[in-house]
Amino acid sequence: MKWIVIGAHLQREDVEPIANVIPIGDLFLSAVAIDDDRPLGDRDVLMQVAAVRAKLLDRATFVAIRYGFAVRDAAEATSKCGGLTTRWRALLDAHRDEVEMTLKIATAAPAARPDRHAFSSGAQYLRALHANAHTADVDPGFRDGVERALVPLTTQHRWMHRDRSSMELAMLVRRRDLENVRDAGEKLRKEFAAVPFLLSGPWPLEVFADDHQQ
Amino acid sequence: MADESQEITLLETLDHLLDRGVVIAGEATISIGDVDLLYLGLNIVLANIDAVARSSQK
């Protein structure tokens, strides 16, 4: 049996009985158990973890662990995550009543993808892909509209490039403001009918808990 | 329309599951259908190629 870790939580009650608990320091990891010979890429496992993750977020905000991290027992979890618990606790204490929302926006004019045959090494190609993604930009009027309508409803926000055809706004939102954010999203949809975008959430602490995004 | 909406929701959910959150050091072997590329290693457990590219530049 192995345990697919879903998130880090402040309290045991935030996890049980929705998922299994793995104590780690003064925090608690949520996990789903699967047989050793079952691959993490199994579609049903993915869907199960996604469903459990959503239920956990209904209960309380948690630090999301990217899918793919599996452990055999609490000792292994502690050895691999022990150094992170102080930071996680600080995040959970600070954002207990907040969740993330995501606004994905199609870029105005997606840049052409670099041709891999034009590069002599894989590293150069990866760098070009990365740089290419950062050329994306959204309609300036829409961005102004988002800054005016959505950003004031957030406690933190971050514009991000993820690929060459879209940009994202990650937002940290108080739970009580979720409906206001959704309403603002609907108004944006009416005001900017020609701009394809997707407002999604709530999500656990993902972008704002990920060091790579800082 | 409802099917399309459900499909978008599912894709968005999987995107967040596979490409967001804290990356923990570990090792795993994973492959999922036609996902662009899954990178496996000691420090990045699972991400698509764009996520790997982003991480490598940080």
pLDDT for A133 equals 66
Strand partners, A28: A9, A23
Q: Mean pLDDT, to the nearest integer, of A134-140? A: 75
Interface contact flag, A200 B19, Cβ < 8 Å = no
- How high is the pLDDT of residue A22? 96
Higher pLDDT, B58 or A11: A11
On whether the CB atoms of residues A104 and A129 are closer than 8 A, the answer is no
Site from A4, A27, A67 to mutate, B interface, most B CB atoms within 10 angstroms: A67
Contact A70 B24 (CB under 8 A): no
Q: Which residue is closest to A202 within chain B, CA to CA?
A: B13
pLDDT band of B9, cuts 50, 70, 90:
confident
pLDDT of residue B47 exceeding 50: no
ipTM of the modeled complex: 0.80
User: Mean pLDDT highest for which of A121-130, B11-20, B41-50?
Assistant: B11-20
Under an 8 A CB cutoff, do A69 and B26 touch?
Answer: yes
Q: For A50-97, write each residue's pLDDT tens digit.
A: 999 999 999 999 999 999 889 999 999 999 888 899 999 999 999 999
3-class secondary structure, B4: helix
Please give, one letter per residue, the 3-state secondary structure of chain A: CEEEEEEEECCHHHCCCCCEEEEECCEEEEEEEECCCCCCCCHHHHHHHHHHHHHHHHHCCCEEECCCCEECCHHHHHHHHHHHHHHHHHHHHHHCCEEEEEEEEECCCCCCCCCHHHCCCHHHHHHHHHHHHCCCCCCHHHHHHHHHHCHHHCCEEEEEEEECCEEEEEEEEEHHHHHHHHHHHHHHHHHCCCCCEEEEEEECECHHHCHHHC
Contact B32/A212, CB-based, under 8 Å?
Answer: no
Reported as a pLDDT band with limits 50, 70 and 90, residue A127 is: confident
* Angle at the Cα of A82 from the Cα atoms of A62 and A102, rounded to 5 degrees: 25
- Chain B partners within 8 Å of A30 (Cβ): none
The whole-chain average pLDDT of chain A stands at 89
Span A173-207, pLDDT tens digits: 999 999 999 999 999 999 999 888 999 999 999 99
B28-48 mean pLDDT:
42
Task: Find the range with the poorest average confidence among A10-24, A27-41, A114-128.
Answer: A114-128
pLDDT confidence of residue A187: 95
Contacts of A66 (CB under 8 A, 6+ apart): B18, B19, B20, B21, B22, B23, B24, B45, B46, B47
User: Does the beta-carbon distance from B26 to A64 stay under 8 Å?
Assistant: no
Q: How far is CA A110 from the centre of its chain?
A: 23
Written as six digits, the tokens of A94 are 């600070």
In the predicted model, what is the mean pLDDT of residues A146-150?
95
pLDDT band at residue A30 using 50, 70 and 90 as cut-offs: very high
Lowest mean pLDDT segment, chosen from A20-29, A131-140, A184-193, B44-53: B44-53
d(CA A105, CA A97): 26
Q: Using 50, 70 and 90 to split pLDDT, how confident is the model at A111?
A: low
